[in-house]
Amino acid sequence: MIETKTLTCVACPKGCEVTVEYEGDEIIEIKGNACPQGQSYAEEEIVAPTRILPTTIKVKNGALALCPVKTTKQIPLENMFEAMEIIGNKVIEAPISMGDVLIENILDTGADIVATRDMPAEIK
C-alpha cells in the first residue's frame, strides 16, 4: 500500500515541510525540501530515524559534578534509552577537554561519546 507522510525536516532550523510517498521501506517521491539534506532526512526518517544524543556524564574531582557529552554521529532513535543507561553508569575523572572520547563505539553504532566542553579539575 502506498502511504504519504508529511515530515518537518530537522536538518537545520528552517524546518521545511517535506512530503514523502512510500511503500514499506521503498521511497517513491519526496517533495517540499529546500536542499538535499531534506531528501536524505526524509529517506532516513521513513526507514530508520536517527538522532544525535546529547546528555551528561558524571565527573569525579571536577569543577562541576557533570560534564556534557554527545554522540559523534546520529544513532538510531530506538537505542536512546539503552545508550542513556550506559552513559549514566560511567564516571570520568577530571580534567576533561572538549572532544575527549569518553566511551568508544557505543552499542556498536559506530558513534563515540565525546565531551562537549572543557571540565577543569575541582578548584580547591
Partner 1 sequence: MRKVKKDLVVIGGGPAGLAAAKTAYDDGIKDVMILERDFELGGILPQCIHNGFGLHHFKEELTGPEYAQRFINDVEERDIEVKLDTMVLDVTKERKVYAMNKKEGFLEIEAKAVVLAMGCRERTSGAIGIPGTRPAGVLTAGTAQRYTNIEGFVPGKEVVILGSGDIGLIMARRMKLEGADVKAVCELLPYTGGLTRNVVQCLEDYDIPLMLNHTVTAIKGEGRLEAVEISEVDENLKPIPETAKTIKADTLLLSVGLIPENELSKKADVVLDERTGGPIVNEGRETNIEGIFACGNVLHVHDLVDWVTEESQIAGKHAAKYIKDNYEKTGSCAELKAGENVSYVIPQKIELEAGDRKRIPLYMRVSTPLTAVDINLYADGEKLYSFSEPFAKPGEMISVPLAQKTLDDLGNVDEIKVDIIEKEGN
Give contact residues for partner 1 (rule: CB under 8 A). 7-8, 10, 12-13, 15-17, 49, 51-56, 58, 63-66, 68, 70, 77, 80-81, 84, 98, 116-118
Instruction: Work out how close the CB of 32 gets to partner 1 at its nearest, in angstroms, rounded to a whole number.
Output: 8
Can you name the residues that pair with 16 across neighbouring β-strands? none
User: Between residues 4 and 97, which has the closer beta carbon with respect to partner 1?
Assistant: 97
Instruction: Work out how close the CB of 98 gets to partner 1 at its nearest, in angstroms, rounded to a whole number.
Output: 5
Instruction: Work out how close the CB of 54 gets to partner 1 at its nearest, in angstroms, rounded to a whole number.
Output: 5
Q: How many CA atoms lie within 13 A of 105 on its CB side?
A: 2
Contacts 24+ apart (CB under 8 A), 23-28: 28/2
Q: How big is the chain, counted in residues?
A: 124
User: Between residues 24 and 54, which has the closer beta carbon with respect to partner 1?
Assistant: 54
User: Between residues 97 and 105, which has the closer beta carbon with respect to partner 1?
Assistant: 97
Instruction: Work out how close the CB of 49 gets to partner 1 at its nearest, in angstroms, rounded to a whole number.
Output: 7
In this structure, what C-alpha cell is assigned to residue 103?
566511551
CA–chain centroid gap for 99, Å, is 15
Dist. CA 75–CA 93, nearest whole Å: 26
User: Between residues 80 and 102, which has the closer beta carbon with respect to partner 1?
Assistant: 80
Can you tell me whether residue 39 is helix, strand or coil?
A: helix
